Amino acid sequence: MKRPLLLLALLLPMVATVPVRADFSAGLQGANDALTSGRPIEAVTRYRALTSDPALRGSGAPELWYDLGLAEEKTGDLPAASLSYRRALLLDPTFVPARKMLADVLVSLGLSAPSGRMESLTAAIHPDFLIVAGSIVGWIALLALILLAFLAPRRKYLIALCVLIMIAGHGASALGALVDPRRTAADKAVVTAKKPPVLRVTPADHGESRGTLAPGTAVSVLSRNGAWWYVSGGPGLTGWIPADTVTTLLPGSPSGGS
């Protein structure tokens, strides 16, 4: 399964002990001070250093990406800010401040905020909770069903109830895995170029145009061909764009952008 690898890439645990944690605290304090003191460019540099350090990435990562987004927004780099807010939500879909700021940034870029039943569900309930809690309930119901089958086979209403609870529990667990945004994160990217890239029919500068992708647009990466990626930004928005105009949603994935 890809999911454990995705989680590892985003939630790489702390591999050092006290000295590293002290460095992290000092670095975070410096980044926060720069942001609150009106030095957003310095804050961006500091936050990016924290989020890119494998030894530090796992500590408070949703908040780090959120703060980076705030700093990028203050510098006027809205496409980069949209990416950072999306990364914060990738780690914690219930992170309300990041969801609100992402919606505001997308509106400023002329885009619609993510919506739909899955978005509403993950905003209200963390997929991990559905997966774990649903699995626990399902297995407990299965154990109760087995015990009832041996100890009280005539109590069919209890057996039926256990079956329903078991189905509901495992169904909730399956739903959590299905709506988890990390499930498809490896194939997602965001247009971080400030100038809308042109969608081409062929991977070449002289290829026929199919339109443009607005900065901040989330795309699915369908294929890669060197410096060109074949992406889909929605119905009627499929084609080749330069790889350096987008950045993968999952940190550490092969990316043409920074």
Compute φ and ψ for 109, nearest 5 degrees: -90, 0
Mean pLDDT, to the nearest integer, of 219-238?
Answer: 91
pLDDT attached to residue 253: 66
Query: What is d(CA 118, CA 196) in angstroms, rounded to the nearest whole number?
Result: 28
How does residue 44 score in pLDDT terms, banded at 50, 70 and 90?
A: very high
Mean pLDDT, to the nearest integer, of 147-164?
Answer: 85
Pick from 15-29, 92-106, 174-188: least confident: 15-29
How does residue 41 score in pLDDT terms, banded at 50, 70 and 90?
A: very high
Which pair of structure tokens corresponds to residue 215?
């900065």
pLDDT attached to residue 178: 81
pLDDT attached to residue 19: 47
Distinct helix (H) and strand (E) counts, the chain: 9, 7
pLDDT attached to residue 15: 37
The more confidently predicted of residues 180 and 173 is: 173
The answer to whether the CB of 167 falls within 8 A of the CB of 176 is: no
Strand-strand pairing, 218-225 and 209-212:
unpaired
Q: Look at the alpha carbons of 188, 193, 198, 204 in this order and tell me if their dihedral is positive or negative.
A: negative
Angle at alpha carbon of residue 65, lines to 251 and 212, rounded to 5°: 65
| Whether pLDDT at 20 is above 60 | no
| Whether pLDDT at 193 is above 70 | yes
pLDDT attached to residue 215: 95
Question: What is the value of pTM for the model shown?
Answer: 0.78
Element (DSSP H or E) covering residue 188: strand 188-191
pLDDT attached to residue 255: 63
How does residue 8 score in pLDDT terms, banded at 50, 70 and 90?
A: very low
pLDDT attached to residue 145: 87
| Whether pLDDT at 195 is above 50 | yes
Could you tell me what percent of the chain has a pLDDT over 70?
86
How does residue 257 score in pLDDT terms, banded at 50, 70 and 90?
A: low
The more confidently predicted of residues 255 and 137 is: 137
What does the buried/exposed string (b/e) look like for 107-137 if buried means 16 or more CB atoms within 10 Å of the residue's CB? eebebeebeeebbebbbebbbbebbebbbeb
**Secondary structure E strands in 4-96:** none
CB atoms within 10 A of CB 34: 19
Mean pLDDT score of the chain: 84
Location of structure tokens 């927004």: 73
Which pair of structure tokens corresponds to residue 98?
């990041």
| Whether pLDDT at 148 is above 60 | yes
Nearest partner of 100 among 91, 89, 111, judged by Cα: 89
